[in-house]
Amino acid sequence: MTDRLYHVDGDVVPAEEASVSVRDRGFMYGDAAFETLRAYGGEVFRWDAHAARLAGTCDVLGMDHGLADADLKRRVDETLAANDLEDAYVRLSVTRGVQPGRLTPGVDVDPTVVVVVEPLPRGGVDGEDVWDGPATLQTVKTRRTPDRSLPARAKTHNYLNGILARVELRVTGADEAVMLDADGTLAEGATSNLFFVRDDALCTPSLDGPVLPGVTRATVLDVAESEGIPVREGAFTPDDLRGASEAFVTNTTWEVRPVATVDGIDVGGGPVTELLSRLFDARVERDHYASDP
């Protein structure tokens, strides 16, 4: 163990002592919202977008935790400062806490807030990728949970759907699972959004399907549009991805990660992937590392 510090229920505590009650609903039922954040140069990337998504998750869960966004951000900032970390992975969780009774959640919530951090390399123009190389992707049998069962826009501690997808990768050792929806339409990776280039357009599964509205996904779409790259958010098949001229996956820690292969078929990154990755890094550099004028 390092001398890492986490934030639990309002206090900064040594990581090895950071715990939650076995009666916490976050443990018993995965009844909790979370966000994966990335800090660059001491500041969380797009905090407002993450805070809005967290609030949306809590809405889906019918959980009014009563905490202000600023309070949550303060806990994240305190955790980064306590660990003297400027560039970091951050996991912020808000659980429904301990309640009387069993499954039915009470309206009165005494939430448990947990912040876990780990160091990451610097980002931006002079940054270093956190991944080893382009991702190998494999389409799995586990289907993304439909929105009518648990909305994909809710980022919760119920992550077994993605875990079962990753367990399927044990045989091939692929890096990421390509998950389809109930109808066999492309949805997303277990922890990433899917992008590919076809007929010179940047394609990605639309949020009409069971797809997490990724913050990096939104940033990449914004960058693409500002560059005049045609964007198609829609319904795609696994063959659309396998037959793409380039492909990449995104999430908060990976940022833009090129795809090497899909189901053993060479796809690779390419000029659009490289351009978007470079422009993403430039935004991070500008917003997080550039000296004030």
Residue 119 C-beta: closest distance to a copy of itself, Å: 14
How large is the C-alpha radius of gyration of the chain? 19
Residue with tokens 């066999």: 184
Answer for which of 52, 125, 169, 207 binds a copy of itself (CB under 8 A) is 169
Rounded Cα–Cα distance for residues 101 and 84 (Å): 41
For residue 260 the two structure tokens come to 């090497």
Binding to a copy of itself by residue 166, rule CB under 8 A? yes
Is 63 within 8 Å of 109 (Cβ atoms)?
A: yes
Q: What is the dihedral of CA 216, 218, 224, 225, to 10 degrees?
A: -160
Please name the residues in contact with 74: beta carbons below 8 A apart, sequence gap of 6 or more: none
Residue placing its CB nearer to a copy of itself in the complex, 58 or 223: 58
Rounded Cα–Cα distance for residues 139 and 240 (Å): 13
Dihedrals phi, psi of 16, to nearest 5 degrees: -70, -15
How many CB atoms lie under 10 A from the CB of residue 264? 11
Residue 200 C-beta: closest distance to a copy of itself, Å: 33
Question: Considering Cα of 286, then 287, then 291, then 293, what sign does the dihedral take?
Answer: positive
Residue placing its CB nearer to a copy of itself in the complex, 154 or 244: 154
Segment near a copy of itself (CB under 8 A); pick from 38-46, 54-62, 226-234, 272-280? 54-62
Binding to a copy of itself by residue 12, rule CB under 8 A? no
Residue 232 C-beta: closest distance to a copy of itself, Å: 26
Answer for which of 12, 49, 60, 229 binds a copy of itself (CB under 8 A) is 60
Residue placing its CB nearer to a copy of itself in the complex, 131 or 218: 131
Residue 271 C-beta: closest distance to a copy of itself, Å: 30
Answer for which of 139, 145, 219, 273 binds a copy of itself (CB under 8 A) is 145
Binding to a copy of itself by residue 23, rule CB under 8 A? yes
Binding to a copy of itself by residue 156, rule CB under 8 A? yes
Tell me how long the chain is.
Answer: 293
Site string for a copy of itself, 84-103 (x = CB under 8 A): -------x-x--------xx
CB-count burial class (<10 Å; 0-12, 13-18, 19+) for 69: middle
**What is the contact surface with a copy of itself in residues (CB under 8 A)?**
6, 8, 15-16, 18-24, 26-31, 60-62, 91, 93, 102-105, 107, 114, 116, 141-146, 148-150, 154, 156-164, 166-167, 169-170, 182, 190-191
